[in-house]
Structure 1
Amino acid sequence: MKLRSMLAATTAAGLGLAGAATAQEYRIGITQNNVGVDSYQTTYEKAFIAAAEANDMVETVVLDAGGDVARQIAQMEDLIQQEVDAIIIWPTNGEAVIPAVRKAFQADIPVIVTNSNIAKQGFDFVASFSGPDNITQGARSAEIMCDRFKEMGIEDEAQIVQISGQPGYTTAIERAKGFEDRLPEVCPNVTLMETQPGDWNREKSQQVMEAFLVKYDDIDGVYAGDDNMGVGALNAAKAAGRAGDIVFVGATNFAVGYEAMANGDYWGSIYQSPVDDAEAALQTAIDVLEGKDVPFLNYFDTPKITQENMGDFSKPVF
């Protein structure tokens, strides 16, 4: 990988820069999914910038697509034109970004996908994926829910609903798949009645749950693709006076989920750190540029957390 001049001017207006302005070895661009949508992504960005500023080997171009696929594709094309040494992408849509990722590959710029992978047909154009194993997360959430139902003695009759993430978003697809594949293996008689998207948004998820509560008289459990949505569902159940009858399980333990667990309202989740996520993405990009042997699927661990073991974990900062 040839090194490019660190003195090149930024060609697009409005690009945020992190890192020292002195001579550096690598210039790495990142285009994120939607920083303002939730506290996980906000914390990720802060951690990424902090890690870059602490490393005098890199200069970073930090961009946010704001959830807009077209904007992210344009950001990818701009980073290619700038001839950055590597690009990190948190995809807004796992399929739609593939042509832009292919362009970077053709320009000899390694692409590291962070947090949520692109669709498999784009794997040939990616140097490495850095992030959580979302299939495993979904499977572990199913195990948490099943274990709780067994403790309650309702594993042969429980009925549940699912609130998934943003449609077309790989993380949402994989967490739902992991949950749906694993649940019948561990609790074959539990019935998943319906799945609706909450788009990672607490208010929308509350509305989805309100509709579920009107439609179904008997709901024993709710699985949400992250705790932000799960707490939205919890809020709806509380307002309807039905929260005490429902087991709430999420993925990606947010501070609000941790607090709800401490209050006894929310049963369990999957512990995932946005700081670890951001730092791993930056280090993966550096390792690729240095020619190190980096696994294609570079996962970090995301353990189960419930009311029973939450004392082993620190409250999330997001």
Structure 2
Amino acid sequence: MFSKIALSVAVASVMAFNVASAETVRIGITQNNVGVDSYQTTYEKAFIEAANADENVEVVVLDAGGDVARQIGQMQDLIQQRVDAIIIWPTNGQAVIPAVRQAKSAGIPVIVTNSKIADAGMEFIAAFSGPDNIRQGAYSAEMMCDALDNKGQIVQVAGQPGYTTAIERAKGFEDRLAEACPEVKILETQPGDWNREKAQRTMENFLTKYDRIDGVYAGDDNMGVGALNAAKAAKRDGIIFIGATNFAVGYEAMERGEYYGSVYQSPVDDARAALQTALDVLDGKDVPKLNYFDTPKITRDTLSQFDKPVF
């Protein structure tokens, strides 16, 4: 039976993992906040399922619940357990650096998943596995330029402050927007904290403050649909909505013609890539320091080319 603290599981054969030694390897994972959104919930389920067929792999599964102090404590606990490798989804890319450095000093390779550690911590990790968030933000900017015909004024609903993914997606978007369509101006940026209800309240404030909003960029579709719901309730038509990770609700909004586009990112691919990267590191393979997986653009016009997200 699965335990949040530890479980012995096998690695799915479809992932074709190759661990050179027949000895059991123990991999610990400390996640950001499984309960905050459906992406992270799906990631956890996929991670456990992906580790489902190799009796030589033992996994210690932990969740920080969005608490930096708790995650640091979990890192220290995994170090004390002498696991063979640690996977961390950072709650804060800067604050976890000392714990990651401690793991490296203990001879335990650390794989960062989904959201990067701050640059100062890169020397202490074995690899990063996840999406290129800068590129995702740039893709969203390009879609915004196309949708607005290179001119207009928009607002941005960003992710959680201090969270590396939020910072990088905002930077990728802002830098590419300024380069590709400088006549599209960002009126204001406020956080939505990856939460649909918070994003809806943020958008309500934007709608009260600004008589004209041509477009909304959200750090993911969960927040994007929250912003969309606020605009619909206020009967503010004609606003373009673009996200940076496609959720099922965003996909459905595209089907209805209410949402312009997003970036297609699978939590299943994300989870499998993290586990594969950890096993490759332990197997002594030459693993890129930045191990990205593909996250293409998805718009109303290309919707049929993509399966509806499961989260």
TM-score, normalized by the shorter chain, greater than 0.5 = yes
Task: State the distance in 2 between where 1:309 and 1:249 align.
Answer: 14
Say which SS state the counterpart of residue 217 (structure 2) adopts: strand
Aligned to 1:160: 154
Aligned to 1:254: 247
In the TM superposition, what is the alpha-carbon distance from 1:168 to its structure 2 partner? 0.5
Gap regions ≥5 residues in structure 1: 1-12
Task: Give the counterpart letter for 2:192 in structure 1.
Answer: G
Task: Give the counterpart letter for 1:309 in structure 2.
Answer: T
Equivalent residues in 2 for 1:9-88 (5 A)?
Answer: 15-19=5-9, 25-88=24-87
Equivalent residues in 2 for 1:1-318 (5 A)?
Answer: 15-19=5-9, 25-150=24-149, 155-156=150-151, 158-242=152-236, 244-318=237-311
Please provide the CA RMSD for this pair.
1.2
Task: State the distance in 1 between where 2:169 and 2:8 align.
Answer: 32
CA contact (8 A) 1:113 1:129 kept: yes
Say which SS state the counterpart of residue 196 (structure 1) adopts: strand
Task: State the distance in 2 between where 1:24 and 1:88 align.
Answer: 20
Task: State the distance in 2 between where 1:170 and 1:128 align.
Answer: 16
In the TM superposition, what is the alpha-carbon distance from 1:57 to its structure 2 partner? 3.1
CA contact (8 A) 1:24 1:59 kept: no
Summarize deviations over 1:62-107 as a string: whole Å, max 9, x none: 0000000000000000000000000000000000000000000000
In the TM superposition, what is the alpha-carbon distance from 1:25 to its structure 2 partner? 2.2
CA shift in 2, pair 1:14/1:60, >3 Å: closer
Q: Which is further off, 44-53 or 54-63?
A: 54-63
CA contact (8 A) 2:4 2:61 kept: no
| TM superposition outliers: structure 1 runs of 4+ over 2 Å | 54-57
CA contact (8 A) 1:18 1:49 kept: no
In the TM superposition, what is the alpha-carbon distance from 1:186 to its structure 2 partner? 1.1
Say which SS state the counterpart of residue 121 (structure 1) adopts: helix
In the TM superposition, what is the alpha-carbon distance from 1:55 to its structure 2 partner? 3.0
CA contact (8 A) 2:4 2:62 kept: no
Task: State the distance in 2 between where 1:135 and 1:18 align.
Answer: 36
In the TM superposition, what is the alpha-carbon distance from 1:53 to its structure 2 partner? 1.6
In the TM superposition, what is the alpha-carbon distance from 1:18 to its structure 2 partner? 4.6
In the TM superposition, what is the alpha-carbon distance from 1:131 to its structure 2 partner? 0.1
Task: State the distance in 2 between where 1:71 and 1:209 align.
Answer: 31
Summarize deviations over 1:222-258 as a string: whole Å, max 9, x none: 000000000000000000001x310000011000000
CA contact (8 A) 1:227 1:257 kept: yes
Task: State the distance in 2 between where 1:14 and 1:257 align.
Answer: 30
Gap regions ≥5 residues in structure 2: 11-21
In the TM superposition, what is the alpha-carbon distance from 1:15 to its structure 2 partner? 1.5
